[in-house]
């Protein structure tokens, strides 16, 4: 994203808004950034498409059908990692383990769990 497109491009504006919402929520959970290695678990809950019939909807809610739609999961994670820099951790290079999933739900949301990892 170039500096100019940040202000003109609608998808860039959406991305910045996404990061801001995550950052604001995270500030409520973290007094200061974690300073050691961290692990993260991120779950993305997508709305069940209206075009699904009863059977498809039941499968989706039973986690027998997964959202294979855009945005790609790695792009979603990148936005979250960028948003959490200087809030949950100093820099996202602190993340040493990651679990991420996409599900359908009647309650669309993102659930983020972060914890410090101790050396074995």
In tens, the pLDDT along 48-89 reads 999 999 999 999 999 999 999 998 999 999 999 999 999 999
- Homologous superfamily assigned to 9-116: Holliday junction resolvase RusA (3.30.1330.70)
| Torsional class of 114: left (φ above 0), alpha (ψ -120 to 50), beta (otherwise) | beta
46, 105 contact by CB (below 8 A): yes
Cβ neighbours of residue 92 closer than 8 Å, sequence gap 6 or more:
81, 82, 84, 85
The mean of the pLDDT values for the chain is 92
Token reading at 90: 């100093």
Band of the pLDDT at 15, cuts 50, 70, 90?
confident
Whole-prediction pTM value? 0.86
Token reading at 70: 């855009």
| Torsional class of 18: left (φ above 0), alpha (ψ -120 to 50), beta (otherwise) | alpha
């Amino acid at each position: 994203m170039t500096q100019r497109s940040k202000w003109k491009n609608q998808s860039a504006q959406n991305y910045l808004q996404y990061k801001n919402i995550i950052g604001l929520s995270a500030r409520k959970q973290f007094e200061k950034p974690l300073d050691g290695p961290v692990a993260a678990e991120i779950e993305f809950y997508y709305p069940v498409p209206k075009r699904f019939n009863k059977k498809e909807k039941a499968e989706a809610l039973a986690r027998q059908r997964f959202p294979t739609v855009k945005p790609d999961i790695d792009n979603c994670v990148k936005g979250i990692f960028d948003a959490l820099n200087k809030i949950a951790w100093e820099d996202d290079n602190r993340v040493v383990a990651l679990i991420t999933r996409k599900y359908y739900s009647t309650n669309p949301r993102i659930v983020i769990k972060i914890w410090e990892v101790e050396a074995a």
